[in-house]
Amino acid sequence: MFVYAILVFSCMPLVYAEDENRIHTLQHDVDTLRAIVQVLTTENKLYKTEMELMTEKMRQLESKFDRELSGQKHEDKRLLITDQPTVSASHHVAFYTQLTKTLHLATQQMVVFDHIELNHGNGYSSLDGEFVCTLQGTYVLTWTITCSDNTAIETELVVNGIVKGHIFTDAGNHADYETNSGTAVLDLKVGDRVWIRVGHVYHGQIVGTGLGSSTFSGFLVNNQSL
């Protein structure tokens, strides 16, 4: 019994040494795994950042594509409106447009009449406010502008950038609305562009109600292409 006890006590240092080696090995493995996890976490953050950058770049490219596509659709629609081949077949051009909202503009800025009541020949576009001549001849063109209380507005009838007529709508010294109209009789060639713009006098706003308060219209009276 005494001999057995001696053997047990003599073997205990060996057991403790093996345990310490095993613990040391396990600790080393744990430290190694922690280092690997740290590296993977850092790489994951880098990948996440790169992915976010790529996502943002993709969003910007999609936005640019949508804008260019929208612009192309706008141009295609404008071409459809102004280049209809059926105009020549009908030999009839007339348009009547109205402003349905009040506009706050600057001098030399175009007045876009947004509601089309009549558009025989498809010469007028509510996208840009221009009437484009598709049949050469003599046209009657007229416009009406309404301004609000204590305002004064000059508007001009413009053909290819050249002023062909202008009117003053003046409510500057009285607290009620003022309406004025202008008319011009002009010879137009195919491709001529006609629009209404603000002149050099502008103090206030152009009133549009959709009930004829501010309008732009015209019609062909003498077809010179026949």
Question: Who wins on pLDDT, 221 or 175?
Answer: 221
Q: Mean pLDDT score of the chain, rounded to an integer?
A: 80
Most confident of 80-89, 141-150, 180-189: 180-189
- Confidence (pLDDT) at 62: 67
- Confidence (pLDDT) at 103: 92
With tokens 């396990």, the residue in question is: 26
Q: Which residues pair with 178 in a beta bridge?
A: 147
Q: Alpha-carbon distance 17 to 190, whole Å? A: 105
- Cβ-based neighbour number of residue 161 at 10 Å: 8
- Confidence (pLDDT) at 38: 79
- Confidence (pLDDT) at 27: 80
Residue 163 sits at the vertex; the CA angle it makes with 157 and 167, to the nearest 5 degrees, is 50
Question: Who wins on pLDDT, 65 or 36?
Answer: 36
For 73-108, how does the pLDDT look when each residue is reduced to its tens digit (9 = 90+)?
A: 555 555 554 444 344 445 789 999 999 999 999 999
- Cβ-based neighbour number of residue 64 at 10 Å: 10
- Confidence (pLDDT) at 158: 97
Q: Alpha-carbon distance 218 to 36, whole Å? A: 80
Task: Give mean pLDDT, residues 180-191.
Answer: 96
Confirm if 128 and 112 have CB atoms less than 8 A apart.
yes
Model confidence band, residue 160 (pLDDT cutoffs 50, 70, 90): very high
Confirm if 208 and 121 have CB atoms less than 8 A apart.
no
